[in-house]
Amino acid sequence: MKLSTDSQHLVKLEQSKKLQDIRHDRRTEIYRYQMLSGESGGARVALDKEYIRIANDIADATIELYLSAFRSEGITPDEQDVSEIVRELVNVVHSIWYDGTHQPCPQSGQEFNAIVPRARLKLLTQIKGMGREGRAMQGQNTIYNISGVNTRVNVNSADSSINVVTIAPDQLFAEIRTSITRDIAPSERRDEILRILGEFEAAQGTPNFLTRYQQFVGVLADHIGVIQAFLPAIAQMLS
């Protein structure tokens, strides 16, 4: 990342403080739903929504903190900066969702998995507002959505800079495989990532699908930007 080490350190400190403040603001609701979650499925879903609010809020705060730091140094983020910010978003959002005490409902997975793609699109939009243009950045502006397992994937956006394509779910996994093969070097665990992707794909329609997804995202953590465009489609398959 082109930001100075001091700026990155300050962003981390401010991010930690923001997260504490956000958690503090939601503490009453979280405690109430935690007390009820053992007795009511509705309370578990409501608890999930509180965690999703926290994750969305910290994702937005993280974007603002990083962009403010870039502006203060007179730098416009490039593709590599975006990838590193997105990696940070994935880390902080997953640390909230899988905090060791929270047991999310399966039906909340789609909404949770849409957090980072939404935040990434917001990040790209704000960078454009800073004057960032270029083919490398625009080439990533395809967001995949799927209407259901074993149906076709539709990519739609009101933003004319977003590509619109239609592919089948098996082609979706093929596109993910192509992106990994193209953008991740063999020395960076590419073979292992492809193997786990195959296990994830093979688990479609089985109770292991969510577990395989978590394994896939875990092994891909350092390269999450490679599959950002595909996360909304995957999230809908998880629901």
Q: Is residue 172 part of a domain?
A: yes
Determine which of 13-22, 113-122, 123-132 has the lowest per-residue pLDDT on average: 123-132
In terms of domains, do 93 and 187 share one?
no
Which residue, 129, 161, 196, sits at the end of a domain?
129
Are the beta carbons of 185 and 167 closer than 8 angstroms? no
Number of domains in the chain: 2
Going by pLDDT thresholds of 50, 70 and 90, the confidence category of residue 40 is low
Where does 41-103 have alpha helices with state H?
A: 41-72, 79-97
Question: Considering only CA atoms, which of 29, 64, 89, 102 is closest in space to residue 228?
Answer: 89
In terms of domains, do 12 and 124 share one?
yes
pLDDT, tens digit, 9 for 90 and up, residues 169-210: 788 888 899 989 988 888 888 999 999 999 999 998 888 888
In terms of domains, do 14 and 117 share one?
yes
In terms of domains, do 112 and 30 share one?
yes
In terms of domains, do 172 and 75 share one?
no
Determine which of 13-22, 76-85, 125-134 has the lowest per-residue pLDDT on average: 125-134
Q: Is residue 15 part of a domain?
A: yes
Q: Is residue 82 part of a domain?
A: yes
Question: Considering only CA atoms, which of 78, 184, 178 is closest in space to residue 137?
Answer: 78
Q: Is residue 136 part of a domain?
A: no
In terms of domains, do 146 and 233 share one?
yes
Residue 166 has a CB neighbour count (10 Å cut-off) of: 11
Q: Is residue 134 part of a domain?
A: no
What would the two tokens of residue 100 be?
């060791």
Q: Is residue 37 part of a domain?
A: yes
What would the two tokens of residue 139 be?
């080439």
**Which domain covers residue 226, as residue numbers?**
141-238
In terms of domains, do 175 and 99 share one?
no
Q: Is residue 54 part of a domain?
A: yes
In terms of domains, do 97 and 124 share one?
yes
Determine which of 3-7, 70-74, 108-112 has the lowest per-residue pLDDT on average: 108-112
More confident residue, 238 or 142: 238
Which residue, 73, 98, 129, sits at the end of a domain?
129
Which residue, 97, 129, 161, sits at the end of a domain?
129
Q: Is the pLDDT of residue 34 over 70?
A: no
In terms of domains, do 31 and 59 share one?
yes
In terms of domains, do 80 and 14 share one?
yes
Q: Is the pLDDT of residue 163 over 50?
A: no
- In the chain, what percentage of residues exceed pLDDT 90? 9
Which residue type sits at 15? Answer: Q
In terms of domains, do 75 and 189 share one?
no
What would the two tokens of residue 158 be?
């009101």
In terms of domains, do 11 and 122 share one?
yes
- In the chain, what percentage of residues exceed pLDDT 70? 75
Q: Is residue 173 part of a domain?
A: yes
Question: Considering only CA atoms, which of 71, 65, 60 is closest in space to residue 129?
Answer: 71
| Residue recorded with tokens 């990342």 | 1
Can you tell me the mean pLDDT for 146-157?
Answer: 45
